[in-house]
Amino acid sequence: MKRSFGLVIIVVVAALLAAPAWNFQDKKPVAAYIIKVVKDVERRSSGTTGWSKALLLSELKAGYEVRTQEKSFAMIKFADDSKVAVREKSIITISGETDANGKILNRDVYIERGRTSFEVKKQETEQFRFTSPISVASIRGTLGGTGFDPGENMADITIITGVAEFSSSRTGCKVDIRGGMTGRIDSTGSCRADTASHHELHNNDPHSDVNQGNGGADTTKTGLGGGGVLKNEGGAAVTTKFSLSNISGTLETGKDVGVQISLMHPPVDISQATMFYRNQGDPGYKQQTMTIAGGLNLSCKIPGTDVHAGTTKTSEYYFSMLGSNGTTYTFPESSPDTSPYTLPIKPRTVYIRIPVTDPTGQTRFLQISYEE
């Protein structure tokens, strides 16, 4: 019997990045936009006392605050497509700088109170920080959520995929929080890391209904891959439909591909996992055995020699996992080999220089390019 449970996938394409020198003399304030508003959301600029109603596509410049009332929600998007969801009864402030070319140098979301979830795009030189009156979380290429409760004077962070350094701004105590973990810092400056509960994973998953402004109870219901029955914290059965979180990224012909999977709510321990992949149009799938770390994080690498854009410029893939109970789980759940997941493949441009002699007798070169 084939079954499926929730997972989050990150695809990283190995590539050489040429980082231009930063121009520190022409820094500009970072900017973002509110791309979703539910009910009562307000904003105000730095140095002002009055709040104004936040509208769809309202601009947020460095120093702007956003406030959500009860049962309200806002989604903020930055230029690099990083997103921050602001939950109800929250107040946050954004800050940061870009260089003269618009490259982001630093960003900070200060949480005065309340909760956010985040989907931060990976940056090679910049760390996205979430701060509170007692904590600092340094983020790079991570999905998760974080909040601060002024009543309990407690800050916490839960990571779905990726890693964050979570530290006390009072004592300097630091802990690394990885996928499937929750970190907490209290008013004394002590910090700790624990395995996240099903409730914490759902409540901080940026793709769950509660973090998309679509409502939904703060329970174990997940917005992530197949079908099944879970139990909430009260013990009552909750029927859920798993779905796969949004996958972004483009493969490139000839480039190695690193694949990381974080499992959410696996019903049993996973003893074996395999990724099947092919360039669309190929007769059969190739496969890679995945490394399992901590029971929740799986990874493998597809060699660049197996990645070719071809005529369709599309990669197809699916996953098969063996549970400790002998059950096989697949993603997608139904007919994964004929209805696989897909990602685009960017062709590699090949340049050929042909020497020719012009009428004056000088040697010149004719350049021809084609997509491989």
Name the fold adopted by 25-221: Jelly Rolls (2.60.120)
User: Is residue 270 within a helix (H) or strand (E), and if so which, with residue range?
Assistant: strand 270-279
Instruction: Specify the DSSP class assigned to residue 91.
Output: E
Give CATH 2.60.120.1440 domain extents, the chain: 25-221
Q: How far is CA 125 from the centre of its chain?
A: 17
Count of Cβ atoms closer than 10 Å to residue 346 Cβ: 16
Identity of residue 191: C
Give yes or no for a contact between 267 and 296, defined as CB atoms under 8 angstroms apart.
no
**Residue 37: strand, helix, or coil:** strand
Mean pLDDT by 10 residues, the chain (372 residues): 60 45 63 93 91 92 94 92 94 90 86 95 79 93 92 93 92 91 92 86 87 58 30 33 44 87 74 92 93 80 91 89 84 84 82 81 74 56
Q: Is 0.75 topped by the overall pTM?
A: no
Task: Check residue 371 and give its pLDDT.
Answer: 55
Delimiting residues of CATH 2.60.40.10 domain(s) in the chain: 251-349
Output the CATH code of domain 251-349. 2.60.40.10
User: Using omega within 30 degrees of 0 as the cis cutoff, is the peptide bond preceding 347 cis?
Assistant: no
199, 210 contact by CB (below 8 A):
no
